[in-house]
Chain A
Amino acid sequence: MARNGLLIQYEWCTGCHACEVACKQEHNYPAGVCGIKVVEVVNAGQDKVFVDFAPFTTRFCDLCADRTKSGEEPTCVKHCQATCITYGTVAALAKEQEKMPRSSLFAPK
């Protein structure tokens, strides 16, 4: 069976943390556990300071198995306020990624 994953164009991630709380709600995870996390990445250049955010899946991401079974998208995909997460087969996402700068492909399962 084809492996599924998440393609995240982190260029657009604004660090709003909606994905993390959506994940917590979906799985009712306790404090300290989450299927996705977002970290702030700061680069101090010579004349400019760059602020980005990097979301990454964890071992607790099950790609929202219950949701996707019934044809719904994972909750982080739906609620991402910057609309920068795509769900699909790893093969299809990799193809999409060829045209997508500043992106990461995650295959958590």
Chain B
Amino acid sequence: MKRRTVGITGIGACIPQQILSNADLEQRHRVSDQWIRRRTGVVERHVCTREQATSDLAVPAARQALAAAGLQPEELQFIITATMTPDHLWPSAGSTIQGRLGAANAGACDLNAACSGFVYALAVGTQLVRSGLYDNVLVIGADVISKFVDWTDPNAYLFGDGAGAVVLQPIADQEEGLIDFMLGSDGSRGDILQLPAGGSRRPSSHETLDQGLHKPVMDGYDTFEFAATAVMDSIEKVLAKTPYSIEDVDLIVPHQANQRLFRPVAKWLGIPVDKFFVNIERYGNTVAASVPIGLYEAVHQGRLKKGHLVVLTAFGAGLTWAGAILRWTYSPNEHHEILHS
């Protein structure tokens, strides 16, 4: 069967209305705005209310992406949601979102590759369209990590909540669209970034709560070293699968893990640091949502234009890391600020 060319034909993004600024954290914990900025680059992050959950952010983002692509929910054939914080352990966030959208003709599931999840899901979604199995696929990256971090642990100040969504469809053969992917994993080092309890190994119990096992474990040194290496590896490997070199790339939209990551990586790649799209100062690290939120803002701020060669890079728990290379094919009719829920 002939392989089809696949493009992003619509994009949406949504963050919670509620802002948690460094000034708020200063008042609640023994930490300074200056310390958080220097260590992470984050100035404020948006966090859900007690009542909100992942699908509350994903559904508005999805509706916006569908409207941008001119699609009705009933026309969707598959929804794949990258998340590690679904509304419930089961059913999947994908099914929850499918139901709330009224996408009655779509299959739906989740994909968990932590912060790499959106790029992984984009790779899977692309193949579903490229193969001819489906014409209209929705790929979502959405996480509400604020409910799972320990706000007395400084590592928590990195994080925020959000959702982003893209529609994938076949596009004209002479276009490039989504060109190639690299997906990596090293489960043997999974323990450097982990939520110990709440799964089938250690189900939630009074004991796990008393032992503090529902707080993420994150080794700062190992995580930063892994992240820097993973960004390099994903960019170099995905480029090596194409005729392009780093000089041909117009914009890199990375997972927003920590602002401190981009200067060394730009130095090693021999590129100006502003080739990386960075918005971590306003949203923090939004896990699987950070890449689609970055794409959304880059497009709506005019940094990303039709015809640009774009590289996506992401890395996270697993360990997992992923890269994508694409020729940007979508331009919005109007420029919009990111949605708030």
The finding on whether chains A and B are genuine partners in a shared complex, rather than unrelated, reads no
